[in-house]
Amino acid sequence: MRTMESPCSQPPLPVECLSRYHRSKMSNLVFFLILLMPTMSSLPAAHCDDNNNDVGFQLTLTHVDAGTSYTKPQRLHRAIARSKARAAALQSLAVVASPVVDPITAARVLVTASTGEYVVGLAIGTPPLYYTAIMDTGSDLIWTQCAPCLLCVDQPTPYFDAKRSATYRAVPCRSPRCGQLTYPACFQRVCVYQYYYGDTASTAGVLANETFTFGAGNSTKVMAPNISFGCGSINAGDLANSSGMVGFGRGPLSLVSQLGPSRFSYCLTSYLSPTPSRLYFGAFANLNSTNTSSSSPVQSTPFVVNPALPSMYFLSLKGISLGNKRLPIDPVAFAINDDGTGGVIIDSGTSITWLQQDAYEAVRRGLVSAIPLPASNDTDIGLDTCFPWPPPPNVTVTVPDFVFHFDGGANMTLPPENYMLIASTTGYLCLAMAPSGAGTIIGNYQQQNLHVLYDVANSLLSFVTAPCDII
């Protein structure tokens, strides 16, 4: 594997490794730096200490389509379309992260920004500028669009203006934080970055430190200094009516890693519920008091490290059951391959679950056997394991629970409403899952009314059934 050089001693990026599109992007970044560097170099360098305080707060998670005029079928159709793009990007990530490819390609984080599912409110700078950002457990970088903006996308709040903040500091080239970028670059001793989220989304700019404020407007308001983030002035893609992204991955530049108490949890309300979901951080991320809807115990399973994708939340899935029937699936279907592909990821930014092809076919056969209705597909919404609904008066249908069996004995039991959906106005009951040619991604539709805890410090995922609309 190629050893990463010191960010201040790296050679120029090899032009022959770039496509025409990315050569253009690099030219834009250099042009942007030439314009911006006099301003940035005049700012004193901040010390880049980690934040190890016992931070705790709670925030509201709002679905990207909440408050819109979309009908329920339209919202489902949009979510599935986003999920397809998201899955394609995540499944190709291990390929480009392979050490056999060039370093420019390896630096691309292929998570399409337009597929974000939940946005969270926060504030940046002194005085604080409030904005919303997409929460993403599939990436690390925190970033927002900054003025002057050479190439930016629409957002609901003003661009962040570094000159108006008393606490903004550009990260020096030799800072350890600069070296934590996947492929850091430097210009006149200031750390700059490029982050690619697929073919149509990217951000480029200066890596900087700022004070972030969380939980503004309630009793858990927390201010955290020296948070490293991307101040982007060349950006592309769809931000889903937000103003940036907040990475919750396992990498060193994610919010959860930078704030020190490396644990967070969320409780996602029913998919079409008007009630917002909740995000808990640090001391507030605790499952002890959430088991109020059933007698189900808290379940826990260890995270698995995929060396090709160390920031992603991989799990060891052992099998799947429908009701009390264990499906005949070879465990190799859920294994991480030698090249880093495959495996099982739990992700907040993917709507429906994507099952490895063999596993999906086993689930489909199991449902066809359990549901006494003719199976078909619903081309309107893009799902292909569907049944006419409601059933005829003389037919009794009992949809079994769906169970993920994880390493450590943890069983994630999904009631029918967590994995089946009414797909269209014409009336189809469809499996809210799709086949994948690579790995498995457990999406947020399957995580409804579960309080899910990511204990990153102890490499453990825990979950319990919970009434997410009232906790």
Q: Which of 202, 205, 183 is nearest to 39 (CA)?
A: 205
- Nearest-angstrom CA–CA distance, 457 and 221: 23
- Nearest-angstrom CA–CA distance, 178 and 332: 38
Catalytic residue among 65, 140, 347, 378: 347
What's the Rg (C-alpha) of the chain?
Answer: 22
Cα separation of the two ends of the chain: 47
- Nearest-angstrom CA–CA distance, 242 and 44: 30
How is residue 263 written in tokens? 């644990």
SS3 at position 198: coil
Q: Which of 415, 421, 350 is nearest to 387 (CA)?
A: 421
Residues 138 and 349: beta-carbon distance below 8 Å? yes
* Cα 390 from chain centre: 35
Looking at the DSSP bridge assignments, the partners of residue 115 are: none
For this structure, is 347 an active site residue?
yes
Query: In which element (H, E) is residue 236 found?
Result: strand 222-236
For this structure, is 54 an active site residue?
no
Catalytic residue among 50, 54, 102, 136: 136
**What are the catalytic residues?**
136, 347
